[in-house]
Chain A
Amino acid sequence: AQKVTQAQTEISVVEKEDVTLDCVYETRDTTYYLFWYKQPPSGELVFLIRRNSFDEQNEISGRYSWNFQKSTSSFNFTITASQVVDSAVYFCALTHSGAGSYQLTFGKGTKLSVIP
């Protein structure tokens, strides 16, 4: 069985602060994909990143960066110099590759509020 835990239910930061959203996963698969999605108040889930389990390189995209550590089964997401537009619910998700890979297992999400 697969499981994704986002222990932080809600986080509030002041604009321009850095913030890290935690994600811990459980899976028995050796090959899997990890994702982060953003859900603004409009409701649409916006894809941010997909990471293959074989690729442990950290990734940076503008103010966003991701730290994948297989040894601790974590895939944490950091926003640098946060902005009000970053306010949203962020979901971490997991799926295995191959048959059944259509079924994403989501965490419960972390609600981020960036205060001006």
Chain B
Amino acid sequence: DTGVSQDPRHKITKRGQNVTFRCDPISEHNRLYWYRQTLGQGPEFLTYFQNEAQLEKSRLLSDRFSAERPKGSFSTLEIQRTEQGDSAMYLCASSYDLTGRYNSPLHFGNGTRLTVT
């Protein structure tokens, strides 16, 4: 069990640029989640996948945000035309859900810290 892996750990970009983050979940986990954490706050939910299906995306912050999980393995989170307000820690988590109800606890990665200048 290598844990949830996120890449890069840090990203500095200029306003208006696009950025993409990658998350590799724990291999046997079928659910993958993206959360955002700003300074002094707890993480807030963005979106989640069960296998390759994105089952909830209404909490993505704007249409500049999109996520994919091709083949139900790794996932990417893309932010287009970044703004300074996008600066935050982006956390990925995974879990194993067998019955369609909440099952195992979420295991989080180290996060990608985004700074938009």
**Interface residues, chain A, with chain B CB atoms under 8 Å away:** 4, 33, 35, 37, 42-47, 50, 91, 93, 95, 97-98, 101-104, 106-109
Contacts and interface: CB of A to CB of B under 8 A. Distances in A.
Interface in B82-113: 89, 91, 93, 101-102, 105-111, 113
Interface residues of B, number: 26
A42 B111 CA distance: 9
Nearest to A102: B48
Contact of A108 (B35, B42, B89, B107): B42
B65 interface: no
B101 A97 contact: yes
B102 A43 contact: no
B44 A106 contact: yes
Contacts of B101: 97-98, 101
20 contacts: A33-B102, A43-B89, A43-B110, A44-B108, A44-B111, A45-B108, A47-B106, A93-B42, A95-B102, A97-B102, A98-B102, A102-B31, A102-B45, A103-B59, A104-B106, A106-B43, A108-B40, A108-B42, A109-B40, A109-B41
B110 A102 contact: no
Nearest to B31: A102
Interface of B: 31, 33, 35, 40-45, 48, 55-56, 59, 89, 91, 93, 101-102, 105-111, 113
B43 A104 contact: yes
Contacts of A50: 105
A95 B89 CA distance: 21
B43 A45 contact: yes
A102 B42 contact: no
Contacts of A104: 35, 43, 45, 106
B107 A109 contact: no
Nearest to B59: A103
B101 to A, nearest CB: 6
B45 A103 contact: yes
Contacts of A43: 89, 110-111, 113
A108 B44 CA distance: 10
